[in-house]
Structure 1
Amino acid sequence: MGGKVSSMSPAPYDYDPFTSLRQNQFSDEEYENCFRFFDSQKRGFWTREDFRRFISAFFSNKQRPYFMLNDRIEEYFQDTDFNQDEKIDYNEFILAWKTTIKLAVRPISALVIVDVQNDFISGSLALHSCPANHQGEEVVPVINRVIRNVNFDVVAYTYDWHPLNHISFYENRHLRKEAPESPIRADDAHILDTVLFVGPPNLTSTIEQVLWPAHCIQKTPGADLHPDLIRIDNAIHVYKGTNPEIDSYSAFWDNMKLSKTSLDDQLRERFVTDVYVVGLATDVCVSATAMHAVENNYRTVLIEDACRGVNEREIEVKRAELAENGCIFVDSDVVPGMVAGDDRRPEVARGTFVENLKTIGRYHPR
């Protein structure tokens, strides 16, 4: 079986079974109707061609199918054909696809807006003064457009919220003892250098720390959100980096995963399935937040035109790491269709499908 691209064409139907499923709250009757819709021979099972039509209709954007490799379609078929009888019956379909269809057709989506704060835009750690020379304020109109145009179920704002004596501040580098094995001595360090400090006995033996200019100090104007950024009522607000001894890039965990924020619990309370990440800075707090969203089993999407970073090389490194772990990268113009469940991308749904197979004890990696 080669890696040919499928030449599936759009199914010539006015009726979309997946829209009907959503509109009828994913009732058992609608799942049965969906199965029958693709059962071309009305024999109570799907042939390979029926299954291809299902895949074509499901992985689509407003009924325009995404092209898929033939070997991936065959992999889906083999994974779904539990008894290996070369056909898909209703029980196999419902066990393999019910969860994936529901999450793809009606995702519960959160927009996590990371650290769009004054100090990163015009203050002490403004991105335009960093190696990449990005303009942090450019994310604000993009994020505002996303907020206006997309019906997110949840919106969260995150903040660097540091005390005056925070370990990450270059100005504080003499407040802590450097570890003997530190690659750079505190006396010789420059801004953006990395120093190894001796950690507090109750936390960890050593702490690797990038030295940043003092920024986002609690209750100062530099820690405020950019004034033009839209604020949503009833949003989640997450304050991180509050422990003076450990930095916290991610909105989920501190940098050493010793303590977590409330974000994961609050997203789960709201039954969130998909996390869209935007903000500042791409290669630091944005990428760390996205990575932990993946690790916490959220379908994770990074909206690239709504992010800006510190260092171009590091942005590429973090992008590769995130992609390898299953994060999806898109531009803001496609987000409305994805959140609405009309744009169902194969790369987003694959992880959900595999996790479901694992849950029901049917996953057999090849």
Structure 2
Amino acid sequence: MIPSLGRWGLSAHADLVYRALSLGGPATAERLTREVDVPVGRVQEALDELVAAGAVRPAHRGTDRAWAAVEPDRIAPMLHRRRHPVVVSDRYQRHLAAIAGLHLDRSRPGMLRRLPSRSAARARIAELAAAERHEHLAINTEEVITPTVVAASDPVDRALLARGVRMRTLGLPGRGLNWRAPLTGSEHREAEDLPLKLMVFDRRVAVFPVDPLDFDAGVFELREPDPVARLVEVFTGVWDAAAEPPTAGAPLVLTPREQSIVTLLATGQSEDAVAHNLGLSRRTVVYTLRSLMDRLEVDNRFQLALVLGAAQAVAVPGRDS
């Protein structure tokens, strides 16, 4: 029986792609695009989600990069370790409750507009952030922070901090594998029930999704002063009740062998190439990686890369194994 991944916070596209891989076997992103009739960009985002959740793994298919579904009985325990299932109607209710009373239908001309797609929203957010001078507020409701999201947001966030803009972010409690460490200089708190995905720029402009379950539907950009002030109050109320994230402990320490292996793998080398370059057997490389993943309680190499990157892992001088 193929589980419904949507119950555990994954998108409908991720669920569809997982089912296609489970029923049809390994496939490339291009083939999946044809089979499920979804644009290749959305298929790639779905694969990002599935990799982060440990639900797919790389598979060889000729010279093309392909993906295979992890067996349902293996991913069920991983899904159960995620946050409690979110009922779809709850998300809508929280979103609607947060914007209730804003009276968007009464907005004056030019004070409210809709950006019709995810790409248009990202471009506009970059413009608004570039003009920001004082404070950036954000609520991130995603449970899985994908590489696509990080690649789009990191340059913008770093530029804000470099200009001295105060950045406060709210997110779901860190669940290890899918948690993105806050950037140095930003302020971050965590809460279980977040009202809506939101960005507020200098308390003058607010941006939030048209559809809380489909970010591809675009966003609203709101400039009406009173409604923006109400959204700031929503943010502040959650912020005051939210918890500080756990204090990071001692840096994660890798042995020289572990450090060498993960460094070479990060450059795209295969296990065989890593073994050859380090003068090790392939079995030693595989065993070392498996031991490291077990130690860090992760299930695949993508998750391992996230944990190591967040921890800024360093080698232990003078140790050999």
Give the TM-score, by structure 1 length: 0.25
Larger helix percent: 2
Q: Which has the higher contact order (CA 8 A, sep 6+)?
A: 1
Give the TM-score, by structure 2 length: 0.28
